[in-house]
């Protein structure tokens, strides 16, 4: 997007693995070695059972479109064109907020449940995970 | 028994004393939601709605109808900010804010304030104003991150707080004469009707299509005109409670004849939290 001055995340010790993964082109999730559940956003314990016995792994990067709005009043740093703020369901189960790229930002182009693939865009020291229509 | 004064005042429109919405980019919301361009309630509270619409065959016209019906109530309220009749076309042609939400599906931004006195039934007996009784209450939370809500077609916080309040009051949905559901945006009365148990998931749209929540309908809802037409200073709960109190006293501008039980359902931090209060009057 032109004039992209979006606010960027400040990683913390609990989330550093995720942001390092994005820079390396990997979408890193965590899962509990006890109950086998994948979860997001990052935290050092399993939200299902409370266990701290958790591991980081590289997710497939596949997802489907769960819901979205198309923001017609962009906040400062997001240019002037309408854009979709989406929530996707990752193939591994967890959901995350993102933007959909390489697609018109219209209801006609953005169909719920459409298959998506992760892609990363660098903003200085941070790389953000976006999603694009699968096969694009 | 202590006597409690509950007050609320807020310069939502004039912004007197208002602080800027501070964002901590190290918080989970700052790291995993803000970078994608959420700009406040119009782009956060609304995100689940498309999934709800697709799941239940709810149309943009159904969202617009919520605003149209609430304007019908507002027309009867001399204090309402907007009282002129609205058509579905008016709403569907209003400025796009965050598709599928248009301006007239979003609440007003006004100044406002209110107060309530909470005391014992015994102490209230000789007050100059008719007392209203709290029959039941419930509170609940889910998640402060809209993206992490368990199910985008239903609010867990709504379901839990509503069930707690109905249980404490010992009433069923069929006993309710009057209903207030915090309407920051047009989808919330639809979620509220379903999550509070007034109908099955997906059926709330029919309450509006069939006029059940409109003046003259079986379940009068948001009878002050709501956040969409009456007023909304930023946190609307006080005003929803006050309309429930007026209805139970029999002094509301759009009074529901013979109403004995009123349910008032509020939201907090968008879908993050909710509270339900059930009022009754001396007839209960
Ligand atoms: Zn676990």
Query: How high is the pLDDT of residue B282?
Result: 87
Express each pLDDT in A104-125 by its tens digit. 999 999 999 999 999 999 999 9
Q: Which two tokens stand for residue B123?
A: 């102490």
Cβ neighbours of residue B58 under 8 Å, at least 6 residues apart?
B52, B190, B202, B205
Nearest CB to B35 within list A68, A86, A128: A128
Task: Report the C-alpha gap between A33 and A54 in whole angstroms.
Answer: 6
Query: How high is the pLDDT of residue A1?
Result: 63
* Domain boundaries, position B201: 3-280
Taking contacts as CB-CB distances below 8 angstroms, the residues of chain B near A72 are 95-99
Give chain B's domain count.
Answer: 1
Express each pLDDT in B8-35 by its tens digit. 999 999 988 776 666 899 999 999 999 9
The pLDDT-based confidence of B38 (bands split at 50, 70, 90) is very high
Mean pLDDT, all residues of chain B: 96
CATH number at residue B128: 3.40.47.10
The closest of B275, B239, B236, B280 to B258, measured between CA atoms, is B280
**Residue B1 pLDDT exceeds 70:** no
CA dist A92 → A37, B42, B117, B220 (Å): 9, 29, 51, 44
Query: How high is the pLDDT of residue A84?
Result: 98
**Residue A135 pLDDT exceeds 90:** no
Express each pLDDT in B255-283 by its tens digit. 999 999 999 999 999 999 999 999 999 87
Task: Report the C-alpha gap between B14 and B112 in whole angstroms.
Answer: 10
**Residue B81 pLDDT exceeds 70:** yes
Known catalytic residue: B230?
yes
Mean pLDDT over residues A3-11, rounded?
92
Cβ neighbours of residue B77 under 8 Å, at least 6 residues apart?
B83, B223, B224, B225, B230, B253, B254
Taking contacts as CB-CB distances below 8 angstroms, the residues of chain B near A6 are 35, 37
Express each pLDDT in A67-106 by its tens digit. 999 999 999 899 999 999 999 999 999 999 999 999 999 9
ipTM over 0.95: yes
Order of strands, edge to edge, in the sheet holding A28-32? A38-39, A28-32, A54-58
Exposed/middle/buried for residue A131 (C-beta within 10 Å: 0-12, 13-18, 19+)? buried
The closest of B208, B211, B179 to B278, measured between CA atoms, is B179
Angle formed by the axes of helices B49-56 and B60-74, to 10°? 110
Query: How high is the pLDDT of residue A36?
Result: 83
Q: Which two tokens stand for residue B277?
A: 């209060």
């Amino acid at each position: 997007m032109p004039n992209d001055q979006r606010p960027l995340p400040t990683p913390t010790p609990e989330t550093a693995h995720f942001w390092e993964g994005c820079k390396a082109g990997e979408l890193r999730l965590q899962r509990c070695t006890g109950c086998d559940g994948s979860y997001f956003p990052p935290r050092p314990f399993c939200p299902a059972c409370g266990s701290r016995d958790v591991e980081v792994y590289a997710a497939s990067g596949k997802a489907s479109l769960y819901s979205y709005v198309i923001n017609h009043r962009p906040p400062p740093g997001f240019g002037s064109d309408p854009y979709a703020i989406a929530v996707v369901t990752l193939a591994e189960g967890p959901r995350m907020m993102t933007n959909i790229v390489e697609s018109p930002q219209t209801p006609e182009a953005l169909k719920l449940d459409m298959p998506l693939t992760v892609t990363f865009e660098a903003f200085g020291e941070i790389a953000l995970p976006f999603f694009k229509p699968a096969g694009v | 028994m202590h006597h409690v004064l509950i007050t609320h005042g807020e310069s939502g429109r004039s912004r007197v004393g208002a602080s800027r919405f501070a964002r901590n980019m190290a918080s989970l919301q700052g790291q995993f939601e803000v970078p994608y361009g959420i700009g406040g309630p119009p782009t956060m509270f609304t995100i689940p709605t498309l999934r709800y619409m697709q799941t239940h065959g709810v149309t943009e016209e159904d969202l617009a109808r919520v605003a149209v019906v609430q304007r019908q109530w507002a027309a009867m309220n001399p204090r309402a900010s907007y009282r002129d009749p609205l058509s579905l076309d008016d709403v569907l042609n209003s400025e796009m804010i965050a598709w599928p939400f248009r301006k007239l599906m979003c609440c007003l931004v006004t100044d406002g304030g209110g107060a309530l006195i909470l005391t014992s039934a015994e102490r209230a007996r000789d007050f100059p104003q008719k007392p209203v009784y709290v029959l039941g209450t419930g509170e609940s939370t889910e998640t402060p991150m809209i993206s992490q809500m368990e199910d985008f077609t239903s609010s867990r916080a709504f379901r839990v707080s509503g069930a707690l309040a109905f249980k404490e009051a010992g009433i069923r949905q069929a006993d309710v004469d009057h209903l207030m559901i915090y309407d920051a945006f047009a989808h919330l009365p639809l979620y509220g009707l379903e999550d509070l148990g007034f109908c099955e998931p997906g059926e709330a749209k029919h309450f509006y299509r069939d006029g059940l929540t409109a003046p003259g309908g079986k379940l009068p809802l948001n009878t002050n005109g709501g956040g969409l037409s009456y007023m909304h200073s930023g946190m609307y709960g006080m005003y929803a409670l006050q309309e429930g109190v007026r209805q139970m006293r029999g002094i509301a501008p759009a009074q529901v004849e013979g109403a004995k039980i009123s349910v008032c359902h509020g939201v907090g931090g968008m879908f993050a939290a909710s509270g339900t209060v059930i009022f009754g009057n001396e007839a209960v």
